Amino acid sequence: MNLLAWGWGMCIFIMPEVLVKQYFNSKKFESFRKTLTYNWLCAIAGGVYIFLMMFANLVGFSFGLSGLETLLTGLYSLEGLTLILMILIAFIMAAHLMFAIRRQEMIKYGAQYVKNF
């Protein structure tokens, strides 16, 4: 049952990424994709996505659905919300770092080396 919940969690959490990526890949957003605002939006979305994938993997491979309920109950406090905020900030900064590394790879090796960026 845990792996089934993991699979559904992965599918549900991947859908918004695919839909937003498809929406912003249109020609009318070409200039917006080069702005700092777009870069920050991508990093925030990446941080939230990493956080959700972490929870999905904990459900599927660690403590299951019953443990998730216990964890969420413990996070509904001031300390828990502070922890979530700090984790999200760390993941957003990590996403920024990953984007910078990918940009450097594109500069160094060319766009044909780094696909789907």
C-alpha dihedral (33, 38, 44, 46), degrees to nearest 10: 10
User: What per-residue confidence (pLDDT) applies to 1?
Assistant: 76
User: What per-residue confidence (pLDDT) applies to 95?
Assistant: 93
Q: How far apart are CA 21 and CA 46, in angstroms?
A: 12
User: What per-residue confidence (pLDDT) applies to 96?
Assistant: 92
Helices and strands of the chain, counted as H and E runs:
4, 0
User: What per-residue confidence (pLDDT) applies to 115?
Assistant: 61
How does the average pLDDT of the chain come out, rounded? 86
Average pLDDT over residues 23-50: 89
**Token pair 């760390």: residue:** 90
> Tokens for 78?
């001031």
